[in-house]
Chain A
């Protein structure tokens, strides 16, 4: 195995582990941006993550059902594009609070000056 292959393999292995558990965050961020139906959530997640995150519609529906069940997401029906009505999902008050707390505790850490400096350091 040459050095480049080894490096790629290590990077992919780390990314695979890192991505686990991120879908929820991306879905919540998509809904924090406004009410969306499943295809719009999918597009948001893939575009905003620079296509490092991919998700199937089935997987999104399954997740949204779970979030709805625990009361962090709800939906309202709206007109579809020449088809049946669409479900427009949104974060409930509980969902928005949960996202805010999660961001405060886990994501905003990366915005401290020291960490930003470390992330931006090259070589």
Chain B
């Protein structure tokens, strides 16, 4: 089964660019003490993330309705968002008002979410033939 589909690669690339831009804007705004306006870029980032996930996820599903698309996209999001955040701190690009513990806690709690999603993924796998939901194969 193809894990890295074209849509997933496009999504991951878009996500990586958006996450770097978000991290850069966030740190810059906090450093300049624009505390009240920070939510705007966070909301924009969230909306853009949702849009590209929706577009490429749908495209992937239309190409081949594999049951694990949701998990693959979720896992890619988890990896990219958290890796970018960790590397950001590792390189010392964060503002004076950001703490590394927040990043670690996000990785931890989101990681629990990923594990739960993975369990759900394993359960639904029983209802699939060659990665496709039985109900989706024949029309």
Question: Which chain A residue has the least Cβ–Cβ distance from B137?
Answer: A66
Q: How far is the CB of B17 from chain A (nearest CB, A)?
A: 29
Size category of the B interface is 10 to 19
| A59 surroundings in chain B (CB, below 8 A) | 139
B100 within 8 A of A: no
**Chain A residues numbered 18-38 whose CB sits less than 8 Å from any CB in chain B:** 20-21, 23-24
B111 within 8 A of A: no
Question: Which chain B residue has the least Cβ–Cβ distance from A23?
Answer: B139
Q: How far is the CB of B75 from chain A (nearest CB, A)?
A: 21
Q: How far is the CB of A103 from chain B (nearest CB, A)?
A: 14
* SS of A interface (majority): helix
Q: How far is the CB of B4 from chain A (nearest CB, A)?
A: 16
| B139 surroundings in chain A (CB, below 8 A) | 20-21, 23-24, 59, 63
Q: How far is the CB of A41 from chain B (nearest CB, A)?
A: 14
Q: How far is the CB of B130 from chain A (nearest CB, A)?
A: 5
B-binding residues in A (CB < 8 A): 20-21, 23-24, 59, 62-63, 65-66, 69-71
A-B contact pairs, 12 of them (CB 8 A): A21-B138, A24-B138, A59-B139, A62-B62, A63-B139, A66-B64, A66-B132, A69-B130, A69-B131, A70-B130, A70-B137, A71-B130
